[in-house]
Each structure stands twice: as C-alpha cells, then as structure tokens.
Amino acid sequence: MITPPDPGTVCESPYSLCEPPDYVNVSPVADPRLEGRAVHRIAYDEAAIATRVQELGAEITKAYPDGDLLVLGLLKGSFIFLSDLVRQITRPLHVDFVVASSYGNDTVSSGTVRLIYDPETELAGKHILLVEDIVDSGRTLHRLMEVLGTRRPKSLGICALLHKHIATELHHPTRFVGFDAPNEFLVGYGLDHAESFRHLPYIASLK
C-alpha cells in the first residue's frame, strides 16, 4: 500500500513512490537532472526496472529456442532498455535499429509517423523482435509492423518496456511487456520530453 505524502512535505527519497493525485505544494523530487521540473512520482525505480528486465530477458531467451534472432531497437526511446535487455538474453542474437519520428516537443501525438529505415538490414528468414520504449496510441508500432512484415521475416514480435493499454491503433499483439503503465506522461530510462530526461535511471511521471 502506497501512502501519499502530506501536502507540503518533501518526498524523502528520489525513488519513493507517491500516488499521482494533484498534490499542491509538494516539493519536487530533489534531482538536478530534472531541470527544476516537478514530477508526480517515481513510477518505476532502478531496482524494479532491473528485476523486470532480467525477467523479460529470460522470457525472450525461452521463447526463441532456435533460429536467427535480430533485436531491432526503435530509436531513440528504446536505447537504454535495449542495451540492458540484450545483456539478459542468453542466446545468440544480432542488434540493429529503426528510426521513426515521434511526438516532437508535444506530449500528445501529432498524428503523423515518419519512418526512416535502413533497407540494407536483412530481415528475411529471421526472428525479428522489435523493441519499443512505450506503447501509447500504438500508431508508431502499427506502421512499423506493416513495413517490417513485408520483409519476409520468420517471425515478427514486439517487446515494449511500458504499455499504457489505451492503444486503439495497434493491430498486432505485444508479445513481451515490461510494465502495464499508468496513463501519464512518463520520462526517464530512455523516454524523453522534448529530448530531456532520457538519462534518468528511473521512470517518472512528469507534472
């Protein structure tokens, strides 16, 4: 059970989990990396992330007993998750990246997804695991899955660190999910707001 802080008190630990209601006068988490921005709460701390990533690595290792595995990180948001995840997958694999445009400086989707994809990457006959930071509307992943599906992979799966479960535009299953995320704007561990906060070692809900 999580106890909300009294209004006016400081969150003692930068990793303490505070419930999200709109507190007034709650001091922001004391972390210079936050550029003075207040956060609602630390949604997932370093230990929780590490434990879950280790479990995901084991799940993925078990799910692909044979064949070539290509782990495709969707940049930029997946870069930290991907680097931790592949070190928890104990079978042979290759790593590559895909770039798609995202929200720019907004916290809501603009409705446009631009894909920038390396056509030299050989996907045919391989198990492709697309690694994403967070599934929100699902638009980005849906578009990517359509494109990658035309490259004749042996299988095509999605691994998302976070899933808000509000996606209406993703018509492919997300095979591996780290956390069922709250419908809040989250930053850290690769996720940004206007390119800031990617380097936070925890995932926080931005005020």
Catalytic residue IDs: 136
- Contact track, Mg ion, 184-203, x by CB under 5 A: --------x-----------
E strand or H helix that includes residue 142: helix 139-149
**Is there a contact between 73 and 99 (Cβ–Cβ < 8 Å)?**
no
- Contact track, ligand IMP, 75-114, x by CB under 6 A: --x------------------------xx-----x-----
Tell the smallest beta-carbon distance from residue 192 to Mg ion (Å).
Answer: 5
- By CB under 5 A, name the one of 43, 84, 102, 186 that touches Mg ion: 102
Nearer to ligand IMP, 15 or 185 (CB): 185
**Residue of minimal CB distance from Mg ion?**
102
- By CB under 6 A, name the one of 57, 138, 153, 178 that touches ligand IMP: 138
134 binds ligand IMP (CB under 6 A): yes
174 binds ligand IMP (CB under 6 A): no
Q: Angle between the 46-63 and 79-86 helix axes, to the nearest 10 degrees?
A: 60
Nearer to ligand IMP, 14 or 73 (CB): 73
E strand or H helix that includes residue 180: strand 176-180
**Is there a contact between 85 and 95 (Cβ–Cβ < 8 Å)?**
no
Nearer to Mg ion, 40 or 193 (CB): 193
- Adjacent-strand bridge partners of 135: 163
**Is there a contact between 192 and 33 (Cβ–Cβ < 8 Å)?**
no
Nearer to ligand IMP, 64 or 98 (CB): 98
Output the 3-class SS for 46-100: HHHHHHHHHHHHHHHHHHCCCCCEEEEEEECCCHHHHHHHHCCCCCCCEEEEEEE
Nearest alpha-carbon partner for 161 in 18, 51, 40, 19: 51
Site stretch for Mg ion (CB under 5 A), options 6-14, 49-57, 98-106, 151-159: 98-106
132 binds ligand IMP (CB under 6 A): yes
Measured between its terminal Cα atoms, the distance across the chain in Å is 22
Tell the smallest beta-carbon distance from residue 92 to ligand IMP (Å).
Answer: 27
Residues that bind Mg ion (CB under 5 A): 77, 102, 192
